[in-house]
Amino acid sequence: MPVAIHATEKALFKVFSNDFAFFIPAYQRPYAWTKDQASDLLNDLLSFLGNDSEVIADTNPYFLGSIVLIKSEDAPKADVVDGQQRLTTLTVLLAVLRSASHR
C-alpha cells in the first residue's frame, strides 16, 4: 500500500518547538558550512528584518528555503531529508541568542 506524502508550511517557531525532535539520518553528509555561509544566512535574516521600528509580527513572511522533514503526526521525531546545513545553523544561532539573553 503506497504511503501518502503531503507537504505543509510551518512557521519557524513551530519547527523549533517541542513538536519536532530532529534526527539526522546516516545517509546525510556531515555538517560542512563555514563561517562564511553562516554569516550569509545571518546577514540575510538581519537585512530582511531591517530597522527595529517595525513590529516583527507585522512583517511579511521570510522564505528561508526548503527544509524537508519526514515526520508522523503523532510523534516529534523528524528525519531531516533536506536543509540540514541551514537547520543546523539556525539551531546554533538560536542557542547563542538564548544564551546571550540569559546573561
The model carries a pTM of 0.80
d(CA 20, CA 14): 8
- What would the pLDDT profile of 27-38 be if each residue is shown by its tens digit? 999 999 999 999
Burial group, residue 26, by CB count within 10 angstroms (0-12, 13-18, 19+): exposed
- What would the pLDDT profile of 35-54 be if each residue is shown by its tens digit? 999 999 999 888 887 776 76
